[in-house]
Each structure stands twice: as C-alpha cells, then as structure tokens.
Amino acid sequence: MSKHYNGLKTTLLFGAIWAIFLGLGAVVGNGRFIWLFALIGLGTTFYGYWNSDKLAIKAMRAQPVTREQQPAMYRIVEDLSAQAGKPMPRLYVSPTAAPNAFATGRNPKNSAVCCTEGILHLLDERELRGVLGHELMHVYNRDILTSSMAAGIAGVITSVAQMMLFFGGNRNANPIALIAMALLAPLAATVVQLAISRTREYDADEDGAALTGDPLALASALRKLERGTAAAPLAPEPALVNASHMMIANPFRAGDAKKLFATHPPMDRRIARLEQMSQGQQPGITRY
C-alpha cells in the first residue's frame, strides 16, 4: 500500500468540520446545548458505522453469493485477500442493471463487497479484478469508519444550524452573522465531508492498482463504468443517496448533483492517475 498520510489529512479535514461545529456552538444558547447535539451526533455516527454493511446492502437489495454462484468474483477476492494478508469479506450481488460495486463494513473482519449484475456483465475478468482490488482497499484502509464519522458530524452541524435559524440562537448575536452561519455551516460541512470521500477514492484507486499490479485494468474498467452509469443511472432515492459515496462510480445522472457536491472525483482524473502509475510515474498530488 502507498503512503497517503491519511491520518494527517483526515485530522485536518475533521478539524475543519469541528471548527464549524464550535462556531455554531458559540451562537446557540451561549453554547449550553452543544454537548447534547454532540451526543446525538456520536450516537448516529456509531449506529451508521456499526450497521453500515447492513444498511448499504439493504439499499441495493443485494443477496449473498457462493463460490458456485459467482466463481470469477469469488476467485478474485479470495486471491487478492490472501495476497494482502487480510480476511476475505462476504460477497454479495445486487439485482441492479446499473454497473457499480461497493465495499462496506466496520473493519476487515466484518466487511462485505457487493457487485451489481450490471458490472458483472459489463466488465471482463481482468477489469473486474481491478475494481475488486479497489473495493478491498476501501476495507483495508478503513474508509468506512472515516466516511461514517464525517457524515455523522456533518449531519449534526446541519441540524444545529437549522435549529439556530428557527429559534434565533443567541439573542446577542448579530442577526446577519446568525443567518450566514445557519446557511453556510451545513454547506461547508458537506463540502468537507465530500472532500474526505473524494480523496479516499483516489487512494483506493492507487492502492488497489498496486495490489493487483495492473493499473490499466482499473483504468479500462472506469472508462466502461463512466459510460455504463450514464446509460443506466440509479434514481436518487434517499437510501441510495446515503450509500452512493461507497460506490466506485457515481450512480446518478450528471445533472442530479453539481460537481462540487459529487462524492467521486472526475473519472478523467482518476484514469489519468492510473495511466501515470502504469508508466512508473507517481500520480499527481491533487486530491480534490
């Protein structure tokens, strides 16, 4: 695995979220209720983290599969898990025509990898190996923990800001500043949350390509997925929106969300970085 300084980057990003959070606390009831929202946020985050595999798999109506049912998928994951020296995750297939894949679970021992029927039909075995290497690295890099925490904290900030706008917050606060904080804090928290998700996609691309030893296989898969998801997008239902940041490709129409709010970095940048890897070059440092 490559050294991405994930700990430092995550600390800085969470620091930005908590700076927004504390800024809200300064104008909501003189800070008296901030710990109540913090406890709610921690509880929500813990629940989402502990049940992340069940929630995402349920949203995609996925079913567990055996070696006999999906021999290629099973063989690839078994081989890559052994190569990485990690436990093999449970395997699922979603009866969805839209091509996609995701990994979920609170740690490598309690994890799952899911492919849609669409991606299994779209990719050849070499490309599927590239995709599954990417998904396994999400598990091994513990990205689910990071994204769950970011989502939970951002959700608390949004709730506090909405309550502050509704109840008026600190009566001594500047009304203009109060409204600005209530409107901008959720926006800023969401941007930071999505930045965490996007940087993890770059890292999983790089680490997954290193695990398989074939960056061009993943690059080829991403090209097909870009076309495939555009041809068969998912409807942005709440359950699917909550699970979409786990997927290897943005499952929705390009017009359903602006690029700034996309949980995934642009495909052309991801492909270019993988092509650089195949040529023995270090991918560029741009993460967002």
Residue 93 bridge partners (DSSP)? 63, 115
Q: With left for phi above 0 and alpha for psi between -120 and 50, is residue 166 left, alpha or beta?
A: alpha
Overall size of the chain counted in residues = 288
| 3-state helix/strand/coil string of 135-182 | HHHHHHCCHHHHHHHHHHHHHHHHHHHHHHHHHCCCCCCCHHHHHHHH
Integer Cα distance of 128 and 132 in angstroms: 6
Q: Give the rounded distance of the alpha carbon of 288 from its chain centre.
A: 14
Q: Which of 127, 135, 201, 226 is catalytic?
A: 135
Task: Specify the amino acid at residue 44.
Answer: T
How many helices (H) and strands (E) are present in the chain, helices listed first?
Answer: 11, 4
By the 8 A CB rule, do 109 and 87 touch?
yes
The sign one gets for the Cα dihedral 259, 261, 262, 268 is positive
Integer Cα distance of 208 and 3 in angstroms: 13
Per DSSP, the three-state class of 205 is: helix
275 is catalytic: no
Q: Torsions phi, psi of 111, nearest 5?
A: -135, 165
Q: With left for phi above 0 and alpha for psi between -120 and 50, is residue 284 left, alpha or beta?
A: beta
Catalytic residues: 135
